[in-house]
Amino acid sequence: MDADCFLGEHLDTLPLGGAWWVGFDGQTPVCYAGLARAGKKWSLTRAGVLASHRGHGLQRRLVRARERHARRRGATQVSSYTHAGNYPSANTLISCGYRLTKHWRSGGSTFLTWSKDFA
């Protein structure tokens, strides 16, 4: 997957009324992530890292950056969901302190919902 394709696939699904991040390696966009707001409960929406740049902690950094942004703006909770088979995303969320709150099925797939409360 090249960089243009990678971003183009997801641009129309980035959150409206929230914020998003794009990380660059030189001139090349290599990762992105979105954050949506609903009162004091925010959600991590969408994230991706270019295949050539995976496994270096970029997703974790994107989670942390979005948490900081949300906390500074009064968030009391951040949540997210993953496909049940997305082990890298699940591992990132678990190691960042998220807990599994429910699992649900849609369109033949199983999804997991995760959340983290801020003290």
**Residue reference for tokens 């302190």:** 97
* Closer by beta carbon to ligand COA, 34 or else 75: 34
Among the listed ranges 34-42, 70-78, 82-90, 101-109, the one in contact with ligand COA (CB under 6 A) is 82-90
| Rounded-to-integer distance, Cα 16 and Cα 86, Å | 25
CB of 58 to ligand COA, least distance (A): 4
Tell me how long the chain is. 119
Q: Is residue 75 within 8 Å of residue 40, measured between CB atoms? A: yes
Angle of helix 87-95 versus helix 58-72 axis, rounded to 10: 50
Q: Taking CB under 6 A as the rule, does residue 87 contact ligand COA?
A: yes
| Rounded-to-integer distance, Cα 14 and Cα 101, Å | 24
Q: Taking CB under 6 A as the rule, does residue 69 contact ligand COA?
A: no
**Residues 30-59 within binding reach of ligand COA (CB under 6 A):** 47-49, 54-59
* Closer by beta carbon to ligand COA, 43 or else 59: 59
Q: Taking CB under 6 A as the rule, does residue 92 contact ligand COA?
A: yes
CB of 16 to ligand COA, least distance (A): 19
| Rounded-to-integer distance, Cα 30 and Cα 2, Å | 9
Which of residues 91, 101, 109, 110 is near ligand COA by CB under 6 A? Answer: 91
